[in-house]
Amino acid sequence: MTPVNSKSLLHFIFNQMEKLDRKEITVQDGQAQANLAKQANNLLSYELKRAEILLKLRDTQIELREIESKSFDNTI
């Protein structure tokens, strides 16, 4: 199963923990997968914080700069 949302990502992580417990994967594999899961979690946290800020700024004249674009322009 390819993780596509929080629920499937959590399922994947628990499945890897079970494999690690049964010695089906190495500790190094488990660490690498844990690091990737941490990066995915950080991205989800970033998106939630960004959405919260956008909601707070909705009725203001302040625009949040789109830093994900290549040219760092002011598009939203």
> Which residue shows structure tokens 């991205």?
43
Q: Which residues contact 57 (CB under 8 A, 6 or more apart)?
A: 63, 64
Number of Cα atoms under 13 Å in the Cβ half of residue 51: 6
The more confident residue out of 32 and 5 is 32
Residue 75 has pLDDT above 90, yes or no: no
User: Bigger pLDDT: 4 or 16?
Assistant: 16
Note if the pTM is more than 0.75: no
AA letter at 10: L
pLDDT confidence of 74, banded at 50, 70, 90?
low
